[in-house]
Structure 1
Amino acid sequence: MMLDRKGNNPLLAIKFFGEGIRWLGNSKLRKFVVIPVLVNLVLYAVAFALGYLYLGDMIDRLIPDWLQWLRWILWPLFFIGFFIGGFFTFTVLANLIASPFYGMLSAATLGIAAGESATVMEVPWLRVVKAELRRAAYLGVRAILLVIISIIPGINVIAPLLWALFGAWGMALEYLAYPLENAGILFSEQRKLIGSVRWGALSFGGLAAAGLAVPIVNIVVAPAAVIGATLYLREIEKK
């Protein structure tokens, strides 16, 4: 597979991300969207509930009565930390569990876009999970390097920009992978292909990352990104 250079256009990537959101209402895709959304919803609710109970218990045990005013500081920090931490841990875990369904969603999207029935190609579950773990390892190593950069005085001034780029690139690799895996393209080649349209991919991944950082909205961002990525790749693939 080769990708057309027009895929580098950020506006094209943004357009197809919007198409992914619009296609969430497609009745032919509904059964492929429902399960990933439920997975996201359950994980999000469990993580939030456990975090809420843990912090409440910790505050009750550690903060004396005369420092109760600290609750007004700690609770907002909890919510901020939950959504920032959730961006990485929640997204990785949710995508790992829902990855087989995302592959089917991508295949169904491609079939509908081609004017065919929503035929779903069965991708071996173990192969899908292995691909997810390879991506997680690739991103994890780079995240550790960014953490180190973030605590080095002087250099850490550029850390926010690097984290933003890292998030956008990671989400591009994540969601563009599903249609590529359905085409039989493995992770090492995926990186080269996505790198050939880097600016478009970063724009697409940046929108996905921003959406995943928004509470409630992030529950439907992942399936929308899978649909949008499939349509985007279909548009820029050289026939």
Structure 2
Amino acid sequence: MRNFTAGVRTLGTGFGTILRSPKLLLIGAVPALLSTVLLVGALGVLIYFSGDLIGWMTPFAEDWAQAWQRTVRIVVGIALIGAAALVGSLSFIALTLLIGGPFYEHIAEVAEKRWGLNSTGDGAGWLRQTGRGVRDSAKLVLITLAGGLVLFALGFVPVAGQVVTPILAALFGAWVISLEMVGLVFQRGGLRLRERHRVLRRHRARVLGFGLSTYFLCLVPVVQLVVIPSAVVGGTLLAHRLLDPAAAGSQDVQLRA
């Protein structure tokens, strides 16, 4: 429980840093706003064409009685929109980081300088670093889509699906968010996505504390514009704590002082 609480506090440190710097807040909010507009627009288009999509997905119900046909198509429609909203919420941060990569890298570097943390990398140039970021973001989007499809299928399991699916969605979302938010530091050091998984698995409680608090706050409209840059700062600190506990431990003392 102590490690879980420490993960939550890491996000709190990010909030404190961002709220004390309006410039960083503005820089970090713009990509999040663009992602919100894109995803809400995509969801709106899906809802607009949902009638045609549902008809295409349920050809087997064409000859059914009107009441049964309507019931099946309402259920499929709710599941379709729900799955789209779930995938959208899970991919929101990946899309935001992809759009605002250079902005968030700047925010992370400012935070590292403020805390006296090592910001040197493995010597890779800007182009190579960008390629790493795009590649890992694409992988995370695919992982998110695959997880969304599994959760979508589980939602059709009577009773258990409606109880278990939201819990699994939160845990899955928290893990993906944590993978994304520590990415700037890991990529700079030349560490790949599978290595992020390995390091984060050794600190599950702390990672879930950070990820779950970020996940639930990102579900709140408008608040997410502040959450994303705060989570970038918190994720940067979390990555240093996991990769270099001694250096991050001395930084904790500075924060409390």
Alignment of 1:125-204 (within 5 A): 125-153=130-158, 155-156=160-161, 157-204=163-210
Calculate the aligned-residue CA RMSD, in Å: 3.4
Partner of 2:182: helix, strand, or coil?
A: helix
Partner of 1:44: helix, strand, or coil?
A: helix
Q: Does 1:99 align with 2:101?
A: yes
Letter in 2 for 1:13: G
Deviations 1:37-60 (A, max 9, x none): 1122234245546766996999xx
**In structure 2, which of residues 26, 30, 40 is the aligned counterpart of residue 34 of structure 1?**
26
| Structure 1 equivalent of residue 219 of structure 2 | 213
Contact 1:18 1:228 in 2 (8 A): yes
Percent identity between the two aligned chains: 23
- TM, length-normalised to structure 2: 0.68
Partner of 2:191: helix, strand, or coil?
A: coil
Partner of 1:214: helix, strand, or coil?
A: coil
Contact 1:12 1:200 in 2 (8 A): yes
Q: Could you tell me which runs of 5 or more consecutive residues in structure 2 were left unpaired when the two chains were aligned.
A: 51-77, 247-257
| Structure 2 equivalent of residue 68 of structure 1 | none
Kindly tell me: are residues 169 and 41 of structure 1, through their superposed partners in 2, closer, same or farther at Cα, counting changes over 3 Å?
same
Q: Could you tell me which runs of 5 or more consecutive residues in structure 1 were left unpaired when the two chains were aligned.
A: 1-5, 59-76
CA distance in 1, matches of 2:191, 2:27: 25
Count of matched residue pairs: 211
CA distance in 2, matches of 1:146, 1:54: 19
Contact 2:8 2:209 in 1 (8 A): yes
CA distance in 1, matches of 2:225, 2:197: 26
Contact 2:87 2:148 in 1 (8 A): no
Deviations 1:196-237 (A, max 9, x none): 101110110001101110000001211100101222333442
CA distance in 2, matches of 1:90, 1:139: 10
Partner of 2:245: helix, strand, or coil?
A: coil
How far off its partner does 1:107 sit?
Answer: 2.6
CA distance in 1, matches of 2:215, 2:240: 22
| Structure 2 equivalent of residue 22 of structure 1 | 16
Letter in 2 for 1:30: K
CA distance in 1, matches of 2:49, 2:202: 50
How far off its partner does 1:26 sit?
Answer: 4.5
CA distance in 2, matches of 1:95, 1:206: 18
Deviations 1:163-215 (A, max 9, x none): 12111111111112222222221111000001110111011000110111000
Letter in 2 for 1:36: G
Contact 2:11 2:234 in 1 (8 A): yes
CA distance in 2, matches of 1:172, 1:133: 16
